[in-house]
Amino acid sequence: MNKYCIANWKMYMDKSKIDSYFEDFLHRDFNLDCKVVLCPSSIHIDYVNKLVDNNNNINIGSQDISEFESGAYTGENSLNMIIESNCDYCIIGHSERRQLFSESDANINNKLRLLNQTNVIPIVCIGETLDENESGITRPVLENQLKRIFNNIDLNNSKDCIIAYEPIWAIGTGKSADIETIYSVHKFLKNIINEINTNNCNICLLYGGSVNEDNAAEILEINEVDGFLIGSASIIADKFYNIYNKF
């Protein structure tokens, strides 16, 4: 199973921040058994790709794509556009897209269907709200999300498919889920994934939600955790690299 350390830069970076990020970062060693993926804003994908040009250890991903292939969709970026910009990965269904831009599992299912026809590796985000967590319905909520997102999709088994479990109450709060929760939810999800995974596709299950330099090593001890999707701690190059070094 591949391991992943994925940075979701969200809308935090401008070009000067990206330049200073790479001052040291590009000269670091990336020889661990873990793939590094940076997800800049779409307008910066080409810029970042140029900067990392001859560094084969750093992969680029998009933070989203449109569920439509092309057409009159102002402000959207199509799958084809991110492929032209040499993205190998694409996040879909991030909770900020779901909560702030009303994306549904059906929209995410459409995006996954498009990605499934290409070599771009999907990073599918799922997670429960604080209310759902406190009402004790985390597992059915996650199961429903997965079943709707993967509905009627015959997974392409020639590439990885990444699922990131990100409890919404842990995102950007500085309060990650505790070890026992991550362990038991990931174990549960791996079972559900086996039901979906009809094609023996390699599904890697990541954790996301306030991952930092202090909690990364302990979370990685959990066998069911195949890596991280990291927000806040990924926009500081040193922090992100220190997390990478825990793999």
Give the shortest CB-211-to-ligand PGA separation in angstroms: 5
Q: Which helix (H) or strand (E) holds 147?
A: helix 138-149
Tell me, residue by residue from 107 to 146, as one string, x for binding to ligand PGA by CB under 6 A and - for no binding: ----------------------------------------
Q: Kindly tell me the burial class for residue 30, based on how many C-beta atoms sit within 10 Å of its own C-beta (0-12, 13-18, 19 or more).
A: middle
Closest to 231 measured CA to CA, from 204, 205, 212:
212
Neighbours of 134 (CB within 10 A): 11
Residue of 94, 96, 128, 132 marked catalytic = 94
CB atoms inside a 10 Å sphere around CB 213:
16
Report the C-alpha gap between 9 and 17 in whole angstroms.
11
Among 60, 229, 237, 243, contact with ligand PGA (rule: CB under 6 A): 229
166 tagged catalytic: yes
The window from 42-50, 54-62, 130-138, 202-210 that contacts ligand PGA (CB under 6 A) reads 202-210
**C-alpha span between 209 and 169 (Å, rounded):** 8
User: How many residues make contact with ligand PGA (CB under 6 A)?
Assistant: 13
**CA-based Rg of the chain, rounded to a whole angstrom?**
17
Among 7, 8, 62, 115, binds ligand PGA (CB under 6 A): 8
Instruction: Tell me the closest approach of the beta carbon of residue 145 to ligand PGA, in angstroms.
Output: 15
> Is 84 considered catalytic here?
no
Binding mask 151-180 for ligand PGA (x = CB under 6 A): ---------------x----xx--------
For the segment 85-104, give every residue that binds ligand PGA (CB under 6 A). none
